[in-house]
Amino acid sequence: MDTGVAAVLFDVDGTLVDSNDAHATAWIKAFNEFGIAVDPVLVRRCIGMGGDKLMPRVSGLQEESTVGAQIARRRGEIFRTQLLPGLKPFPGAEQLVEATVARGFRAVAASSASKKDLLPLLEIAGAKSLLDDWTSSDDADESKPSPDIVDAALARAKVPASAAVLIGDTPYDIAAGRSAGVRVIAFRCGGWLDPDLVGAIEIYAGPWELVQKLDRSLLSGLRDVGSEH
């Protein structure tokens, strides 16, 4: 079946790696260290958008403010030193990336994480050596749900939006993908339910289910688009 797909763009947090709760914990701890109480439920629901958008949403602070920059920096330290070492990939994460590459799809990470966070997350997922390329928040002016990161990933994949699929786990992935003109496959493993994932073409429990159903999914066929871009 020709589905017109030539490249797969992977979100990482909550999609390949079980890290959304850890990111929420890091933000809450960082705010608390600066004497700022935030709603843990709201913080958790904002995971998946970039820190520049999360911070004003949960605290009213701008990331570029003096205190905002200090909190963002501290969040990164907490995440990388206290939480990152204990993170695990979702079952089937590495197998999913392997399967897409084996079928000839170009595979590119499209993450709102900073490059400093992203590279170890890709190692945890077993995906770093498999991917053709990756993009992080460092490659985009605006983070998800803006489409900038998806646009950057499309440029790395060297395919038009119509020939790509984004796999993600949050409404922000879906919004970013749709704004970029890219179809989206959504996973529930990041903590969101089907009503939150409206706009996705397909929804699966996680990478393990998509691996099992690959031949019945949007990734069942490959179109050779060559250098079309």
pLDDT, tens digit, for every residue of 140-151? Answer: 888 899 999 999
Fold assignment, 20-86: DNA polymerase; domain 1 (1.10.150)
Q: Is the pTM of this model over 0.85?
A: yes
**pLDDT for res 194:** 97
Residues 226 and 129: their CA atoms lie apart, in Å, by 23
User: How high is the pLDDT of residue 136?
Assistant: 87
Domain boundaries, the chain: 7-18+88-216, 20-86
Q: What is the mean pLDDT of the chain?
A: 93
State the pLDDT at residue 224: 44
Please report, for residues 81, 139, 173, the alpha-carbon distance to residue 71 in angstroms, rounded to integers and kept in the order given. 15, 22, 24
| Predicted local distance difference test score (pLDDT) of residue 4 | 85
**What's the confidence (pLDDT) of residue 143?**
87
One-letter amino acid for residue 67 of the chain: V
Give the pLDDT of residue 93. 98
**Given this model, what pLDDT does residue 1 score?**
52
The CATH number, out of the four listed (3.30.1360.30, 3.30.450.20, 3.40.50.1000, 1.10.10.10), of the domain defined by the range 7-18+88-216: 3.40.50.1000
The pLDDT value recorded for residue 3 is 67
Which residues, given as ranges, of the chain have pLDDT below 50? Answer: 223-229
Q: What pLDDT is recorded for position 42?
A: 98
Query: For residue 137, what are its two tokens?
Result: 């928040």
